[in-house]
């Protein structure tokens, strides 16, 4: 089963945690793809260049100057550091963003009701490219920068990129497992209690957890993407700690249709 693993920005920001995760990821058997977030580096560099970071509802507004920064940081510095680290672990990694070989085509998000600027919503993936590279023994490392196919780059949510890659491969007949790794142990009933992991969530559970306010903020789009993946034919979706990627079953929270 091919694994699509997404690593969150909070782990990308922590060198020791990222190094430990990449060591474990490199050792995973079989075909695998790593999708990474951006972390705080883009915000730091933007500030040093005098570019104001605008956030609406916790999401970055990407104007032209910010697009230059996030492309440089996500598809450049972060992506290549991860590729180099995996190569050092004996994993034959190759770095890509959505613009490479039309890997992930997106459309610019509608400015209504909120204009997020150059932000993309994916339409699909180039499955032939994935099959060509994974078949040749490469591990793909994917940065969350996509393209509209007409020359415009678009900043794209990394959780959505991971889901799009997983569902695109599932639609092509590939058996896929999607794993969201971040700094928490899984979906928590109490954000202050690391031991309050919800071991399993169905779509019905998700609606109840949203209504009760247990799930909100950044966890909402992660779970929404998880259930889109399940609806799209992905065999298994797990949300877990980056520290558990080498553990059998990963621990954390498993998402199920019903």
How many CA atoms lie within 13 Å of 110's alpha carbon, on the beta-carbon side?
Answer: 2
pLDDT, tens digit (0-9, with 9 covering 90-100), for 211-237: 888 887 778 888 999 999 999 999 999
What mean pLDDT do residues 193-218 have? 89
pLDDT, tens digit (0-9, with 9 covering 90-100), for 21-69: 999 999 999 999 999 998 789 999 999 999 988 888 667 899 999 999 9
pLDDT of 129 higher than 70: yes
The SS3 call for residue 29 is coil
From the list 24, 64, 238, 59, the residue with the least C-alpha distance to 158 is: 59
What mean pLDDT do residues 77-105 have? 98
Is the distance from CB of 148 to CB of 108 less than 8 angstroms? yes
Report how far residue 92's alpha carbon sits from residue 139's, in angstroms, rounded to the nearest whole number.
6
- What is residue 240's predicted lDDT score, i.e. its pLDDT? 97
As a whole-number percent, the residues of the chain with pLDDT over 70 amount to 99
Q: For the domain that residue 219 is a member of, what is the CATH number? A: 3.40.1160.10
pLDDT of 111 higher than 70: yes
Full residue range of the structural domain in which residue 194 is found? 2-256
Q: Which residues contact 118 (CB under 8 A, 6 or more apart)?
A: 62, 63, 64, 66, 67, 108, 152, 153, 154, 155
- What is residue 57's predicted lDDT score, i.e. its pLDDT? 67
Tokens 């993309």 belong to 120
Kindly indicate the confidence band of residue 70, based on its pLDDT and cuts at 50, 70 and 90. very high
What mean pLDDT do residues 157-183 have? 97
Q: How would you class 220 by CB atoms within 10 Å of its CB: exposed for 0-12, middle for 13-18, buried for 19 or more?
A: middle
Whole-model pTM: value is 0.95
Number of domain units in the chain: 1
Report how far residue 236's alpha carbon sits from residue 245's, in angstroms, rounded to the nearest whole number.
14
The SS3 call for residue 110 is coil
Report how far residue 48's alpha carbon sits from residue 19's, in angstroms, rounded to the nearest whole number.
26
Q: Characterise 137 by phi-psi region: left (phi > 0), alpha (psi -120 to 50), beta (else).
A: left
């Amino acid at each position: 089963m091919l694994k699509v693993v997404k690593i969150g920005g909070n782990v990308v920001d922590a060198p020791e945690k990222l190094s430990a995760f990449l060591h474990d990821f490199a050792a995973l058997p079989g075909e695998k793809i790593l999708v990474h977030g951006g972390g705080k580096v883009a915000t730091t560099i933007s500030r040093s260049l005098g570019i104001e970071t605008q956030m609406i509802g916790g999401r970055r507004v990407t104007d032209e100057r910010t697009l230059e920064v996030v492309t440089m940081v996500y598809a450049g510095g972060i992506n290549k550091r991860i590729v180099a680290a995996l190569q050092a672990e004996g994993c034959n990694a190759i770095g890509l963003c959505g613009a490479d070989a039309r890997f992930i085509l997106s459309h610019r998000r509608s400015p209504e009701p909120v204009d997020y600027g150059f932000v993309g919503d994916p339409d699909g993936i180039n499955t032939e490219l994935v099959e060509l590279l994974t078949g040749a023994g490469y591990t793909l490392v994917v940065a969350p920068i996509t393209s509209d196919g007409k020359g415009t780059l678009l900043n794209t949510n990394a959780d959505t990129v991971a889901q799009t890659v997983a569902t695109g491969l599932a639609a092509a007949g590939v058996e896929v497992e999607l794993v969201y790794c971040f700094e928490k142990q899984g979906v928590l009933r109490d954000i202050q209690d690391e031991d309050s992991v919800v071991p399993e969530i169905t779509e019905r559970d998700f609606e109840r957890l949203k209504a009760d306010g247990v799930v909100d903020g950044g966890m909402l789009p992660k779970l929404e993407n998880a259930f889109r993946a399940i609806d799209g034919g992905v065999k298994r979706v797990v949300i877990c700690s980056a520290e558990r990627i080498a553990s059998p079953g990963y621990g954390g929270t498993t998402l199920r249709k019903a």
